Amino acid sequence: MLNKGKWMRAAVLVLVVVLVGGIWFIKNQGNADKKTAAVQNEQQGGELAAAGDPNFELYTNKMDVAALSAYQLPMLLDFGADDCIPCQQMAPALDAIHAEMQGKAIVKFVDVWKNTDGADGFPIQVVPTQIMIYADGTPYVPSEDMADSGIRFTMYSKKDTEEHMFTLHQGGLTQDQMRLILKDLGVV
């Protein structure tokens, strides 16, 4: 009877070790795939998106458009929250576009509920909201081709000078819609 109890404890311990090891392997395999993709991207001309450059990571605590503009790449900046249902629904598409656009565009996400100053300086009223910026750092102006896309944009200008400051989209976007916007921003 005593031997049976020892064997059961040993079996449970082995099972726990195998589970923890499996989780570690799966998690690190995903990181290895991301590193491999970053190296391949770098070899294919995406030298700006160097592995380890925090400006090319999807998640951030605060958007720094001035720093990002130095890369001279179009930007799709998403302001959302991990606990927001539309944001959760959009997250897989955002992850996919981020991976697809490495070296071609900057795709960033900030959780404005966790990082309350993450949207400072931006006209964010609801989450998710996306702001698009051309490679030269100027605000995106949708082309006439976008009129038939069904995507609604809001344009913000300074009241005194009427200078265009921001173009944004409120609500979730699909992967195809993000791709369409990025194409209109000049991504080929």
pLDDT digits (tens, 9 = 90+) for 101-153: 999 999 999 999 999 999 999 999 999 999 999 999 999 999 999 999 999 99
User: Is residue 52 within 8 Å of residue 107, measured between CB atoms?
Assistant: no
* pLDDT at residue 105, rounded to an integer: 97
pLDDT number for residue 99: 95
Predicted confidence (pLDDT) per residue in 84-95, tens digit: 999 999 999 999
Per-residue CA distances from 47 to 32, 62, 104, 140, 180 (Å) = 19, 24, 10, 24, 24
**pTM of the entire predicted model:** 0.74
Q: Average pLDDT, whole number, for the chain?
A: 85
Q: Residue 128 gets which letter from DSSP?
A: S
- Model pLDDT, residue 29: 54
In whole angstroms, how far apart are CA 25 and each of 18, 29, 39, 96?
10, 6, 21, 22
The closest alpha carbon to 123, from 160, 154, 83, belongs to 154
Instruction: Dump pLDDT digits (tens) for 57-74.
Output: 999 999 999 999 999 999
Backbone dihedral region for residue 65 (phi beyond 0: left; psi -120 to 50: alpha; all else: beta) = alpha
